[in-house]
Amino acid sequence: MYLNHNATLMCTHGGQVMLFPPPFRSLWIMQSPVVTEPDLLEAVIVGCPQIGPGLVPCTTMVAVLAGLAMEIQIDGEVPVLDSLQALTDGVPPGLVQAIDSGGSNAAPAPFSAMAMTMFTASRSGAAFCPT
């Protein structure tokens, strides 16, 4: 499922991600804008309890490791799926995951085998067919 801005995202330590709705988004799901990769990188994490000697609480996400819907773009940005896994700036780093999709009922369309092959080839930079 695609995430919307009502989604609940948390770091592995228990900090909550605060998403800031964009000023404009052309796609909304359940009366809330779809979350895109830049939304994640602009979000803040509050309440991470990782405190103590040598520990630093999570405050932001620094990299998205999984959960991007690379097959489409919304307003020139990549939307985020409920399979999200993002690395935080905490020490040791945490992993942000979606606890709830925000009531989203929208799922990406399944790829056909042919479309998946073409998509993979385009991402790898390899020639699609022998020359």
DSSP 51-82: -BTTBB---SEEEEEEEE-TT--BTTB-BEEE
What is the model's pLDDT at position 101? 86
φ, ψ dihedrals at 24, nearest 5°: -145, 135
Question: Could you tell me which residue, 76 or 126, shows the higher pLDDT?
Answer: 76
Question: Could you tell me which residue, 86 or 112, shows the higher pLDDT?
Answer: 86
Q: Is it the case that residue 125 has pLDDT exceeding 80?
A: no
Q: What stretches of the chain show up as alpha helix (H) in DSSP?
A: 37-42, 113-124
Q: Is it the case that residue 122 has pLDDT exceeding 80?
A: no
Do 12 and 57 meet the contact criterion of CB atoms below 8 Å apart?
no
Q: Percent of the chain, pLDDT > 70?
A: 79
What is the model's pLDDT at position 119? 55
What is the model's pLDDT at position 85? 97
φ, ψ dihedrals at 122, nearest 5°: -65, -35
**pLDDT tens readout for residues 55-110:** 999 999 999 999 999 989 999 999 999 999 999 999 999 999 999 988 876 666 65
Enter the tokens of residue 53: 């000697």
Q: Is it the case that residue 30 has pLDDT exceeding 80?
A: yes
Residue partners of 25: CB distance under 8 A and separation at least 6: 33, 34, 36, 74, 75
What is the model's pLDDT at position 82? 94
Separation between Cα atoms, residue 63 and residue 60, nearest integer Å:
9
Q: What is the pTM of this model?
A: 0.79
SS3 95: strand
What is the model's pLDDT at position 129? 54
Whether the bond between 23 and the residue before it is cis, its omega within 30 degrees of 0, is no
